[in-house]
Amino acid sequence: MNRREFLLSSAAFGAMMVAAPSVFAQDKLTILGSVPSLGFPFFVHMLNEIKAEAATQGVNLTESDGQNS
């Protein structure tokens, strides 16, 4: 995944996070947060930010590490 694809997917994910509470009327929504590899500090930071936003929005987060594959 190159930088442009990552930024576009991150933007789409962010838009989905904004729209999700109004679209879904479930008790607690569960989403998947996936990063290419936790071996890089940038992706660790991004996953931590996703966790913080999920907690702020009140959704469950399932974390996934792609392990560079």
1 has a pLDDT exceeding 80 = no
Q: How many domains does the chain have?
A: 1
4 has a pLDDT exceeding 60 = yes
What residues make up the domain containing 19?
Answer: 3-65
43-62 residue pLDDT tens: 999 999 999 999 999 999 99
Q: How far apart are CA 27 and CA 36, in angstroms?
A: 30
What's this model's pTM, rounded to 2 decimal places? 0.58
User: Given this model, what pLDDT does residue 51 score?
Assistant: 94
User: Given this model, what pLDDT does residue 52 score?
Assistant: 95
Q: Which residues, listed in sequence order, are joined to residue 64 by a DSSP beta bridge?
A: 34
